């Protein structure tokens, strides 16, 4: 019950405080005149001059007054403001629209830069549940056996019920050498699993290439991050120089990242055609299309995906599948097809807000069904060989 009441009050307070910020154009200079003793009075006074319709704010002011007069401890107004805004954003009900305070926002972009301290785990919210999208290869999460579609229910013994995704991630991440324990549930496993891991500095290149003696290239893209464009260009040059006969594009456990990087990768494999369609709630659409410069458009290829392939990875797989440029092998993908814009604020915080949905060239919604493989090949626990990769290599020259 405590968590429920806490979240309710934060959501109510968030509506008022964020409206105050919006209408007043709050800056760091404005924050400075608010103290634990006068925050309710300041906001009340300023809002009286604004046109806020018929909304009754009396409950908020009553709660603010009670906190000011009765709460025993110190009040951190800045944290109350951040918490209120998070509550406002969470009340929308979209797990991908979130407000991140300066620390959380910095951690998010650190992960896209390819270096951060944690366990190497990508999480998402699905129908209110905190789901593992993918563990990074050879990360603490991977070595501990966490798998796509595991559901995280507790961190260090604390239930994640009622927490935002950003709050859970902040609890999972931490200094290198420290421990974190996750409790997860798994399909077809009756009892929850408790997994303890030692945090590491997670460093990785987003692009890796292996060319076998058979001239089959395995191009692994683990995430569409800041270094993807440069790494991909190097890989393309190496494949052309080696005269590869076929390419396996491995997008397994790729949680996505930057749209532009995904479009650039798909463009290299296509001659012409739409790569992805972006639809706004207004009905307006934006088409991202191949520009005809693709240097790999004639080389036979297969795309590998699994349940951990999401977002921009699904865009690439869907485009190549719809244009019959490549067969898709593996498992049905995660199904994350929404577009977030990032609005940065002067204090380092940010709002990531869903503004559109992605559709494949044939008009299929990525969010509704993910990408279904042309040939389904499931990985089997305890395998010593990679049956999905071996299948893809066999099919690439057929």
Percentage helix, strand, coil for the chain under 3-state DSSP, each rounded to 5: 35, 25, 40
Phi, psi dihedrals of residue 121, rounded to the nearest 5°: -125, 130
Q: CA 145 to CA 168: how far, in whole Å? A: 19
Indicate if 385 belongs to the active site: no
Indicate if 142 belongs to the active site: no
Beta strand segments in the chain, E: 98-100, 115-118, 121-126, 129-135, 151-155, 158-159, 179-186, 189-198, 200-203, 207-211, 216-221, 246-250, 274-280, 285-289, 301-305, 327-330, 338-344, 350-359, 375-376
Nearest to 290 by CA among 267, 259, 323: 267
Burial class (CB in 10 A: 0-12, 13-18, 19+), 104: buried
Catalytic residue among 261, 336, 349, 393: 336
Indicate if 379 belongs to the active site: no
In angstroms, the Cα distances linking 67 to 21, 55, 62, 270, 349 are 20, 22, 9, 60, 25
Q: Which two tokens stand for residue 92?
A: 């929308």
Nearest to 287 by CA among 368, 363, 391, 193: 363
Say if CB 115 and CB 201 are below 8 A apart: yes
Buried b (16+ CB within 10 A) or exposed e, 234-267: ebbeebeeeebebbbbbbbbbbbbbbebbbbbbb
Q: CA 351 to CA 113: how far, in whole Å? A: 19
Buried b (16+ CB within 10 A) or exposed e, 191-210: eeeebebebbebebebbebe
Catalytic residue among 84, 139, 311, 349: 311
Q: Which two tokens stand for residue 127?
A: 């129908």
Say if CB 357 and CB 363 are below 8 A apart: no
Which residue numbers are catalytic? 311, 322, 336
């Amino acid at each position: 019950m405590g968590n429920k009441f806490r979240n309710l009050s934060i959501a109510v307070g968030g509506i008022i405080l964020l409206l105050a910020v919006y209408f007043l154009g709050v800056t760091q200079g404005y924050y400075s005149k608010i103290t634990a003793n006068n925050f309710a009075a300041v906001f009340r006074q300023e809002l009286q001059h604004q046109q806020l319709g018929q909304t009754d704010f009396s409950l908020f002011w009553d709660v603010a007054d009670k906190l000011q007069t009765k709460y025993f401890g110190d009040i951190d107004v800045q944290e109350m403001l951040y918490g209120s805004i998070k509550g406002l954003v969470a009340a929308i009900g979209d797990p991908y629209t979130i407000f991140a305070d300066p620390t959380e926002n910095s951690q998010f972009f650190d992960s896209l830069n390819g270096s951060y301290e944690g366990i190497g785990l990508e999480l998402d919210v699905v129908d209110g549940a905190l789901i593992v999208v993918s563990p990074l290869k050879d990360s603490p999460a991977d070595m501990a056996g966490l798998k796509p579609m595991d559901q995280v229910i507790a961190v260090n013994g604390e239930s994640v019920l009622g927490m935002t995704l950003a709050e859970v991630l902040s609890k999972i991440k931490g200094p290198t050498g420290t421990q974190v324990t996750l409790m997860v549930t798994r399909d077809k496993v009756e009892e929850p699993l408790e997994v303890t891991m030692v945090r590491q500095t997670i460093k990785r290149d987003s692009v890796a290439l292996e060319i076998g003696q058979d001239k089959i290239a395995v191009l692994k893209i683990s995430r569409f991050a800041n270094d993807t464009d440069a790494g991909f260009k190097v890989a393309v040059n190496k494949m052309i120089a080696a005269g590869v006969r076929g390419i396996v594009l491995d997008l397994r456990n790729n949680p996505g990242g930057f749209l532009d990087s995904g479009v650039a990768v798909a463009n290299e494999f296509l001659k012409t055609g739409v790569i992805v369609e972006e639809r706004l709630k207004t009905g307006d659409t934006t088409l991202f299309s191949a520009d005809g410069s693709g240097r790999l458009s004639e080389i036979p290829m297969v795309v590998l995906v699994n349940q951990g392939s999401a977002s921009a990875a699904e865009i690439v797989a869907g485009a190549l599948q719809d244009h019959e440029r490549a067969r898709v092998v593996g498992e049905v993908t995660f199904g994350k097809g929404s577009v977030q814009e990032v609005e940065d604020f002067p204090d380092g915080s940010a709002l990531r807000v869903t503004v559109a949905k992605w559709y494949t060239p044939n008009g299929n919604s990525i969010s509704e069904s993910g990408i279904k493989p042309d040939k389904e090949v499931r990985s089997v626990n305890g395998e010593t060989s990679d049956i999905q990769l071996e299948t893809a290599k066999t099919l690439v020259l057929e």
